Amino acid sequence: MQLNYDLAVAVATELAATENDPLCAYVYDLDGLRTHIQQLVASLPPQCQLFYAAKANAETPVLQVLADHVHGFEVASGGELHWLREHFAEVPLIFGGPGKLESELRAAIDAQVELIHVESRLELERLARLADEAGRPVDILLRINLTLAELPSTTLTMGGRPTPFGLDESELEGILAWLPTQPNLRLQGFHFHLLSHQLDAAAHLRLLQGYCRQVKRWCNDYGLESRHVNVGGGIGINYVEPDNQFNWPVFSQGLATLIEQEQMQDWTIRFEFGRYVTAACGYYVMEVLDLKRNLGQWFAVARGGTHHFRTPAAQSHSHPFHVVSRSQAESRTGGAGNPPAVLEREPVTIVGQLCTPKDVLAQQVPLDRVAVGDWLVFPYAGAYAWNISHHDFLRHPRPRCGYFDGGRVVVAP
Ligand SMILES: Cc1ncc(COP(=O)(O)O)c(C=O)c1O
């Protein structure tokens, strides 16, 4: 998805017009998101389905855009399940994630989710009992933690090594022998999500090939009829080199070849992408409050911080940003009694308003010019950003929020 800083600034300008204090805000480009999701879905081979992992960003306006285009939503908690059902009564839901409560499993059965992704043997047995109590068959996928010979490495792996996610493959035989004794559990296939932050299209295709071959082997070895594999999410955003993003055209074309080579034309291959769908539609805007030099390094203290936008701290990266010049201030050199309002050609660390040295959004970034009053616009803030942040720390107010939708700026109250 193309970034559009002009649009982010246009929305921020409207928000600032109704703000007495320096601005901090989230801006979402819903028009861009609409085009992006349409293109993603349209470029997938017909055997593939795209579900959206709501954990990436479950703001209603974002979900509303996606609901018209995706095949369904993946939820990973009772909270997400209720939220999604409340807003989208008809959209297909699948329910995954570790540590599901009995109350959540019951709610999922009542909400008639399409599939429950089972993470452990105990969960499977609980679900069998709850399905019996409900007197209703429940369709399931077994999530398996695979060790593949060629597991690509990324900065976030959920499998291929000891993790709490999915069943150990060694349990499969016992489970497959036990399942036919359970009248209300219907095995529909398998689920994998071994990693996130994948930036290499060819490596991701190799991973999917590994999943597909393994599933076909199980179907063959155990005489299973299922023709459904959920290959998880995991496509990343290159925050460090923003010009070098995952090559979607190579991936989607490669998928078609993979399906043909593996003779999986009669299979359903389902994705549950999060980050790659929504990251690029969101921007976090911070206004520079102060410029200061401390033990030899320059800092720009800006309105807001990692309690709104934890992504850089969570990923331990320097988040890219764009400086929007708004100040007419003259360049001053600084020094005692003469603090600078403008810095030119200096490396600057961008921090927020929190009383912790961890409140850093970008480290020692060489900037041509930055001034008090300028806006710092952080792109790729539409996934795992606001919703993973510790909002209540220090009880700073929430950021403002605005959208660009249908060619118009919409300001959230
Ligand atoms: C089971 C599962 N599916 C899908 C996702 C979405 O992953 P991503 O946002 O990397 O596409 C996650 C993320 O943690 C996950 O755990």
Q: List the catalytic residue out of 48, 212, 219, 355.
A: 355
Residues ≥6 apart with Cβ < 8 Å to 316: none
**pLDDT value of position 262:** 96
Residue among 174, 121, 120, 113 nearest 138 (CA): 113
| C-alpha 278 – ligand 1 centre gap (Å) | 13
Atom of ligand 1 at shortest range from CA of 96: 1
Residues ≥6 apart with Cβ < 8 Å to 395: none
**pLDDT value of position 150:** 66
**pLDDT value of position 158:** 64
Q: Is the Cβ atom of 80 under 6 angstroms away from ligand 1?
A: no
Distance separating alpha carbons of residues 192 and 200, to the nearest angstrom: 18
Distance separating alpha carbons of residues 119 and 230, to the nearest angstrom: 14
> Which strand (E) or helix (H) includes residue 138?
strand 138-145
Q: Is the Cβ atom of 304 under 6 angstroms away from ligand 1?
A: no
Instruction: Name the region of 267 (left: φ>0; alpha: ψ -120 to 50; beta: rest).
Output: beta
| C-alpha 52 – ligand 1 centre gap (Å) | 9
Q: Is the Cβ atom of 279 under 6 angstroms away from ligand 1?
A: no
Q: Is the Cβ atom of 193 under 6 angstroms away from ligand 1?
A: yes
Q: What is the pLDDT along the chain (413 residues), one digit of tens a residue?
A: 999 999 999 999 999 999 999 999 999 999 999 999 999 999 999 999 999 999 999 999 999 999 999 999 999 999 999 999 999 999 999 999 999 999 999 999 999 999 999 999 999 999 999 999 999 999 999 999 988 766 666 666 666 777 889 999 999 999 999 999 999 999 999 999 998 899 999 999 999 999 999 999 999 999 999 999 999 999 999 999 999 999 999 999 999 999 999 999 999 999 999 999 999 999 999 999 999 999 999 999 999 999 999 999 999 999 999 999 986 544 444 455 556 689 999 999 999 999 999 999 999 999 999 999 999 999 999 999 999 999 999 999 999 999 999 999 999 87
| C-alpha 328 – ligand 1 centre gap (Å) | 45
**pLDDT value of position 148:** 78
Torsion, CA 95, CA 96, CA 98, CA 102, rounded to 10: 20
Q: Count CA within 13 A, CB hemisphere, residue 223.
A: 2
Domains of the chain: 5-27+281-411 (2.40.37.10), 92-273 (3.20.20.10)
**pLDDT value of position 103:** 98
24 is catalytic: no
**pLDDT value of position 327:** 63
